[in-house]
Amino acid sequence: MTLGKLNRSLFSTTRTLVGWHLVRHSYRKMLTRVVPGLAAMSLVTPVYAQITEAIYDLPPGELGQTLTRFGNEAGILLTFDNALVVGKQTAGLHGRYSVPQALSALLAGTQLESVSRPDGSYSLRQRPATGAAAELPAVTVIGASTDRPDLPAPYAGGQIARGAGMGVLGDRDIMDIPFSVNSYTVQTIENQQAQSVADIAANDPAVLNVDPTNASYANTFTVRGLLLGNGSIGFNGLFGLAPNNQTTLTGIERVEIIKGPTAFLNGMSPSGTGGAINLVPKRAGDTPLTSFTASYLSDSQFGGHLDFGRRFGPDNRVGIRLNAMYRDGDTSVDQQSQRLGTFTLGVDYRGERFRLSADLGYQNMRTDRANSTIAPAVGQPIPDPPSARKSFMSPWNFVDTEDTYGMLRGEFDINTRLTAYASLGRSNTDWKQALDFGTQLQENGDFLSTSRMNFTGIERTVGEAGLRARLDTGPVRHDVSVSVNGYKADRTSAGTITLGSIESNIYDPVFLEKPDLTTPSRNRISKTVLSGYALSDTLSILDERAQLMLGLRKQRITADNYNIATNERTSRYDKTAYTPTVGVLFKPTETISLYGSYIEGLQQGAVVGASYANANDVLEPYLSKQYEAGVKVDWGQLSTTLAAFQIKQASAIVNPISNTLTGDGEQRSRGIELNVAGEPVRGVRVMGGYMLLDAKLTETTQGINDGKTAPGTSRHHFTLGVEWDTPFVTGLTLTSRVMHASRQYVDAANTQSIKPWTTMDLGARYIVERSGGHPITLRANLRNVFNKSFWTTYPGAGTLNMSEGRTLMLSATMNF
């Protein structure tokens, strides 16, 4: 059997195993069959000590700071009174240790000792004199959750993490990253009842959701005013594996958002240079987990989510984490319904020097009467949108996407200072849609509705391999990384099939009769190969208080387009570029970081959508350059980042006369961004920020639109969420979030604009304590409380999207 046939056979088998035969079965069968089976495995597994050894490389320094770093790296909960460590030094830690051994070495000569607690946490106390009774002092909590020692610890309040994955550089503490980064935790995902990545991205002031609903055919974002498609969502560091159109968050532990070009860090992005979003999959923790969440979304969507995790074997080295979710029913839009089934399985092995993980995922989403876009007529004012609860799309419209993906990743510690890693993944997308696309929208709401059908398939193969090393040259420490990566995507399509057109009105729509939707045959339309290799060195002195990051990536993009009818190649694009990055970071204290950076990016040109005359063309790659400077301050319980930036990038522009989308422009985005997160007052958590953006078109055809504001950009964007643990009812938390975007232009000439909008979300959750330590968490979230209807716009394309109406979400999470 050839490799290609083997791959197709494996993926066909995968879809059969994890497709609807899994997700459409009731959770009663899943709970009565799957859970007892896995639980039985844990019952026959002997109980082993959970003390494992790990490699540490901590320099000499202040005891308190070193203990904090050790707690994060070891993944333990460590508590102590700061007065105990003031003025004390430690000789550091180099080599392989268990946690008790490491603490003993770090505390040598300090007259302090560690105390192990039954729950696996540790505290510090003064070493008692012989015969004297020891008294535990008041404590301050540092360190990470014991269930995910491989990830940066959550920050105060638990909504964001103290660090994030930085591609070839590995995981870095936020204070050691010369870019603006946010890493949202599973706590945020669960408490906000996020349905997709877009729901979490809305917390970041630099991100604007182009389509603010989950009932369309794709999630798209702007980051600092630049477009970012769903294809720029990475899974465990690799693009091309996450579901292609809309990525739900079943089985996801973290959502990491990096603002600005990231080609050096992650390789070339398939669909955007404004930033990158990375999803970190869940892993089984040392604590056994069996959790079931029952959910409801207005108007009548009901669902359930099973989350199961266990570890087995000596030192709990083998872990299994299974997540399965199914929901179905009507949405808040009249006559619109959505069905979603998704399944993820993560298996990992964590040895002394070798770590291996495998992930498998499946997602099928069907939306009937799906939202689509509408384009205003040239020179016409934009009318007010209809009610967000109403749809001007045909009732027989639908989008049906099926995604299957898998990934294998391994890491090996060659020695205490050198680690090798490699990962390989493959995904398959089957995308079917029949949608109305509106054009020629008039001020009174009249428009031309054209129905089109397109069935598309995408197969991707991705991989990465590299080395990370740490070495010293005199007083200078070097963190060196070398990596190679590749991305290959084969796309097939039936072509755009026009089903008919009809004059309609957004306030009083009329529709075509349902046409024949027989599945057409598909042929290859494009093949894209992205490849590159990167080299970086982060030099640091003064115990890493002064850092210089240098990096260079050679990138190549090859794109072939084919005639659907003849299968002959019609065009080819092949380009190579070197994209450098430079970052400088200085920490005058452990709680303040001053930084500046320069980075470039090269992005695959967009595939022109079905509504344009040059549909399916692949535009030339977009080159981007970003300068950024900022200051990060850790106030103890509140983290703030203030950044100033400038980005220049080639941009796509629509020609309304010929109805074509081309890459003839350049956009310059300048702005100031403020991010805040933490728990500044006990029981009160905040998260959000503000972005002031000046985005201009600087190079347009014949200079006709030079100096105009870039379409789809908001000068003022604000988002702030607040949580309050009420003192009058134990276990009750009240939440709120306010989001605002100022006016946005729709066209490059700035003759058409959409109005500013402000929305408010409210929520509450209540923890019901039960005997046995298994509480029930009840959550209620009301999005868009005042049912605000507004337009958003796709940058450069001149199309409009409808907002999401008021939506009620309820859930109950039960642990067993």
The model's pLDDT over 165-208, given as tens digits with 9 standing for 90+, comes to 999 899 999 999 999 999 999 999 999 999 999 999 999 999 99
pLDDT reading at 587 higher than 90? yes
What confidence category does residue 711 fall into, taking pLDDT thresholds of 50, 70 and 90? very high
Torsion of CA 291, 297, 303, 304, to 10 degrees: 0
Instruction: Please report the pLDDT score of residue 267 as a whole number.
Output: 83
In one letter, which amino acid is 568? E
Of 405 and 267, the one with more pLDDT: 405
CB 643 within 8 A of CB 627: no
pLDDT reading at 307 higher than 90? yes
CB 628 within 8 A of CB 645: yes
* Best CA proximity match to 596, nearest among 584, 581, 608, 609: 584
| Mean local confidence (pLDDT), 414-431 | 95
Instruction: Please report the pLDDT score of residue 117 as a whole number.
Output: 64
Instruction: Please report the pLDDT score of residue 136 as a whole number.
Output: 40
Instruction: Please report the pLDDT score of residue 274 as a whole number.
Output: 80
β-bridge mates for residue 531, sequence order = 486, 556
Whether the ω angle into residue 299 lies within 30 degrees of 0, i.e. cis, is yes
The model's pLDDT over 653-685, given as tens digits with 9 standing for 90+, comes to 677 778 887 776 788 999 999 999 999 998 999
Instruction: Please report the pLDDT score of residue 707 as a whole number.
Output: 92
pLDDT reading at 4 higher than 70? no
Residue at token pair 């109305």: 436
DSSP string, 369-386: T----EEEPTTPPPPPP-
Instruction: Please report the pLDDT score of residue 605 as a whole number.
Output: 67
| Mean local confidence (pLDDT), 51-63 | 72
Instruction: Please report the pLDDT score of residue 30 as a whole number.
Output: 34
Instruction: Please report the pLDDT score of residue 44 as a whole number.
Output: 33
| Mean local confidence (pLDDT), 399-411 | 97
What confidence category does residue 540 fall into, taking pLDDT thresholds of 50, 70 and 90? very high
Burial 469-506 (b: 16+ CB within 10 A, else e): beeeeeeebebbbbbbbbbbbbbbbbbbeebeeeebbb
- Report the distance separating Cα 771 and Cα 769, nearest Å: 7
Instruction: Please report the pLDDT score of residue 606 as a whole number.
Output: 66
| Mean local confidence (pLDDT), 324-353 | 95
What confidence category does residue 53 fall into, taking pLDDT thresholds of 50, 70 and 90? low
- Report the distance separating Cα 548 and Cα 540, nearest Å: 6
Percent of the residues in the chain that have a pLDDT greater than 90, as a whole number: 61
Q: Which of 369-373, 595-599, 689-693 has the lowest mean pLDDT?
A: 369-373
Percent of the residues in the chain that have a pLDDT greater than 70, as a whole number: 88
Alpha-carbon dihedral sign for residues 230, 234, 239, 243:
negative
Of 797 and 722, the one with more pLDDT: 722
- Residue 10 belongs to what H/E stretch? helix 3-18
pLDDT reading at 35 higher than 50? no
Torsion of CA 214, 614, 223, 584, to 10 degrees: 140
pLDDT reading at 17 higher than 50? no
The model's pLDDT over 454-507, given as tens digits with 9 standing for 90+, comes to 999 999 999 999 999 999 999 999 999 999 999 999 999 988 899 999 999 999
pLDDT reading at 25 higher than 60? no
The model's pLDDT over 120-139, given as tens digits with 9 standing for 90+, comes to 678 888 876 544 444 444 33
| Mean local confidence (pLDDT), 502-529 | 91
Structure tokens at 787: 């049912």
What confidence category does residue 52 fall into, taking pLDDT thresholds of 50, 70 and 90? low
Of 50 and 321, the one with more pLDDT: 321
Instruction: Please report the pLDDT score of residue 119 as a whole number.
Output: 52
pLDDT reading at 730 higher than 60? yes
β-bridge mates for residue 308, sequence order = 290, 322
- Report the distance separating Cα 641 and Cα 181, nearest Å: 9
Domain boundaries, the chain: 279-815
| Mean local confidence (pLDDT), 142-149 | 51
pLDDT reading at 411 higher than 70? yes
Question: Superfamily for 279-815?
Answer: TonB-dependent receptor, beta-barrel domain (2.40.170.20)
Instruction: Please report the pLDDT score of residue 6 as a whole number.
Output: 37
Mean pLDDT estimate for the chain: 86
Structure tokens at 701: 């055809």
Residue at token pair 């422009």: 665
Euclidean distance between the first and the last CA atom of the chain, given in angstroms as a whole number: 46
What confidence category does residue 51 fall into, taking pLDDT thresholds of 50, 70 and 90? very low
| Mean local confidence (pLDDT), 249-260 | 94
- Report the distance separating Cα 625 and Cα 102, nearest Å: 44
pLDDT reading at 219 higher than 60? yes
E-assigned strand segments in 354-417: 354-368, 374-376, 398-415
